[in-house]
Amino acid sequence: MTTIIEIKQLRNCFRCGGEFRGESGKRVCPNCATPKDTKRPLNSTLSFRERQVVNLICKAKLNKEIAYELHLTEGTVKEYLNRIFRKVGATNRTELAVWALTTQRGEPVAVNGSAAMENCFFGS
């Protein structure tokens, strides 16, 4: 009867540099190979700037218009929108506007020095 003996070599992890015993094809130690839960829970309250973006979304502004009005880049507006969507649980601008209409009534938010109400009405 023949027995197969598996030889595990002492190796260095490519990620952390630590030593581990593994097969010849393994380059990463078991600690580094397991995915870490990197998602932190977001604070559910919107910041002042996020409320400004929501207010302008409710007025049907484009990202370019929001960026111009708030003196931001379009990329920064997109980042704000992604963060707001995650906080609110919305998947698009329409859901965000509906959320704002139903939950954020009457909180004043200044946009470019003017106090605008965040009750999201179209055409004022």
Q: Is pLDDT above 60 for 107?
A: no
Domains and CATH numbers, the chain: 1-37 (no CATH), 48-117 (1.10.10.10)
Residue 124 pLDDT grade (very low, low, confident, very high; cuts 50, 70, 90) = very low
pTM equals 0.56
What are the tens digits of pLDDT across the range 65-90?
A: 999 999 999 999 999 999 999 999 99
Q: In whole angstroms, give the CA distance from residue 79 to residue 109.
A: 20
